[in-house]
Chain A
Amino acid sequence: MNANAPRIDAKALIDEDLAALQQERRRHFVPALVVALGALLLAAVLSGVRGDMFSQPAWKVALQIAVWVQCLLVLPAIGLGLIFPGRAARVGVVGLAAVTTLLAGVGMPTELPSVTSMVTHAVSDGFGCVAYVFGAGLALLALGYFSGAFVQRRRSQAVLWVTAGIAMATLDAVTWHCPATDPTHTISTHVGAAVVILVITSVLAIVIHARR
């Protein structure tokens, strides 16, 4: 036996403890995920899914599914401390999330509408979709609060991963509900409302984190 070998291997013990912590977090994450999925499914059933769901271009449907995976699994996993990607990977995840979400929700319009027309439309005709996004966003925020999602990590910036996931989920949910493809509508009400939800949930989540 090596005379210099430590009698306690602190590194191994600590690593085992951290692994147990990860397992504990996963055990808490799964039920919250199930509840979130259930809530989104219930909203889809009650409000209805767009009639042309599978008439959309295949690439768009694939992107929408990819957005679900990102917003329900990848982003919360980072925000909750289930996985710890390096800086480059985190930048990649953010970029991919932004691009896929916008493409899945808005598509590739040939012409962007003016800001004035979008604001007018949102105020006059967009209440339904805006309310849908807000309702879904605040429900998911409440789920995050009661599941302790915003107090898992030390730094407050970590909550932004969860709130980004919430905003993406609301955008994907309204995209699967509303068949409109006119960018005046999708950008102003779907994307616009999702951005507002992102800001609101982020501010609230940071406050919740600070008060823990």
Chain B
Amino acid sequence: MSVDAAREHNGQGLHALMERYVDGDRRAFARMHAMLAPRLRRFLMKFVRDEATVEDLVQLTMLKAHLARERFQVQGGNPDGAVQGWYFAIARNVAMDHLRKQYRQDRHMVRARGDQDDASSDVVTSLADDAPSIEEIGINREAELEIVERVHEAIAKLPMSQREVVELHKLRGMTMAEIARRLKIREGAVRVRAHRAYKSLARWLVPSSLLPLLMYPLT
């Protein structure tokens, strides 16, 4: 029996771990993470040469896979390979998005620098120096944009009375008292609508432990 076959037999293969992870087994997830993270790092290094960026992309890949784990299905005759392939597909998309964003920002900066009538500006030098800030903006911004989009979609699903409270409260920064005056209803009623709305949003969106990721500005 090969090592992989032995692992599968003992419930330690990637597919067996994935099944238990999807069921909620934390230890299975920890084992799977230990197996997959190094492979993802090596895979992503082919796209992005910077180790810090690769590490960020690995984290983003893991999070995206976690949010989509219920949709994982085995295709083909190699269940362990299917799990790895699924993670690699997500990692590839994450890397491509990062590179596209990096290219757009590089091009924008080149054009901006080129427009300046300053003989001392060195476009190539400033481009190389800006590499860290592209990563700093790119990785986090990608995750932010996706989350913002999902939050907006969820807000659109709310009943009208709850939606307007959320929009006034979160998007325009009004207080409960100000919202009550604007909508000509009691402040208590505003609070009730807000509570129900946020409860629905929490149920639809990412579970509670990932809510801190949602606390980016919605505008």
The answer to whether A84 touches B20 (Cβ under 8 A) is yes
Residues of the B chain whose Cβ atoms lie less than 8 Å from the Cβ of A9: 59
Option from A13, A19, A87, A158 in Cβ contact (under 8 Å) with B26: A19
The answer to whether B63 touches A14 (Cβ under 8 A) is yes
Q: How far is the CA of A158 from the CA of B140 in the complex (A)?
A: 39
The answer to whether A154 touches B209 (Cβ under 8 A) is no
Residues of the A chain whose Cβ atoms lie less than 8 Å from the Cβ of B125: none
Q: Mark A117-144, 1 if CB is under 8 A from B, else 0.
A: 0000000000000000000000000000
CB distance from B18 to the nearest CB of A (A): 9
Interface residues on A, range: 20 to 34
Q: How far is the CA of A204 from the CA of B27 in the complex (A)?
A: 31
Option from B10, B23, B56 in Cβ contact (under 8 Å) with A158: B23
Q: At the interface, yes or no: A107 with Cβ under 8 Å from chain B?
A: no
The answer to whether A8 touches B29 (Cβ under 8 A) is no
CB distance from B31 to the nearest CB of A (A): 11
Residues of the B chain whose Cβ atoms lie less than 8 Å from the Cβ of A87: 10-11
How many positions in chain B have a CB within 8 Å of any CB in the partner chain?
A: 35
Q: At the interface, yes or no: A21 with Cβ under 8 Å from chain B?
A: yes
Option from B28, B37, B213 in Cβ contact (under 8 Å) with A84: B28
Closest to A84 in B: B25
- B residues 48-93 with Cβ under 8 Å of A? 51-52, 55-56, 58-60, 62-63, 66
Q: How far is the CA of A84 from the CA of B55 in the complex (A)?
A: 30
Residues of the A chain whose Cβ atoms lie less than 8 Å from the Cβ of B165: none
Of the candidates B22, B24, B209, B213, the one having the most CB atoms from chain A within 10 angstroms of its own CB is B24
Interface residues of A (CB under 8 A from B): 3-11, 13-22, 25, 81, 84, 86-87, 152-155, 158
Nearest 3 Cβ contacts at the A-B interface: A16-B209, A10-B62, A84-B25
